[in-house]
Amino acid sequence: MNLRPWNNIKINECNEPFISIPKSIYRLTPHPYMSLGAPYLAGADPWILRKSVLKRLVRAQQHLSEINPQLQLALFDAWRPISVQKYMFNYTIVETCKSKGLDINAITVNGGINDVIEEVGHFWAKPSSDPLTPPPHSTGAAIDLTLADLTGTPLDLGGEIDFIGPESDPEFYKKDSIRMPLSTHHTFHKRRSLLLSVMEHAGFVQHPKEWWHFSYGDQLWSWLNKKDNAIYGAPLEVSKDITLSEPSLVT
């Protein structure tokens, strides 16, 4: 599988701590990958981020509230151990084969398995243990999220988070939005644009193929901002001992 262009970016790890995400920022529950049986080790908490990433997430929520007091950010996923990345990568390959009517136990290289792996790889980062190419979520720099109303009901942004297909492109509905200003496609694009706007306002960058994925400080962020290096890599382990609580982040 080919590396992404940002995987060549150097990482100068800043050793910034992981911080618990306050519950004042709404999260979608139950956690989607835990529900599927992904192997989170005892004590592993997906709701943590690097300190500066969390500060920017809080800033994004505050900015959204100023723009539209009836909406809030809705977190889907944050920190992801590499073991979970591997589990979900393989899980998505199996599910994609099922959706295409392919028997994963029967297909060969010539039968399409490589094509499926390549397709999944456009959306899911390879679960690499190489410190030079860490999956973004394993660094504590990336977060998946959407918009919700104040009751916690997610808005329809024209595609499910983690969907493997062209609809996941952030600008998939842009042309239809311009051509059909009264359509649902216009609504989808407007909502995606709002999410992008509040996240960019806080310093995040968006994954070019995933409308829900944003990050700060990782290789993708560095590449898009034309910086010399990323500041977050994947730690060998994140334990409760280094997961701190910092209430001042939510003020």
Only one residue has tokens 């529900």, namely: 35
Only one residue has tokens 């009751």, namely: 151
Burial of 33 per CB tally in 10 Å (0-12, 13-18, 19+): buried
Q: Which of 47, 100, 99 is nearest to 74 (CA)?
A: 47
Active-site position among 13, 118, 210, 246? 210
Other beta carbons within 10 Å of 117: 18
**DSSP per-residue codes, 28-63:** -SS-HHHHTT--PPTT--SSEEEHHHHHHHHHHHHH
Burial of 99 per CB tally in 10 Å (0-12, 13-18, 19+): exposed
**Residues in a beta bridge with 20:** 48
* 118 carries an active-site annotation: no
AA letter at 12: N
Q: Which of 50, 7, 13 is nearest to 221 (CA)?
A: 7
Active site members? 210
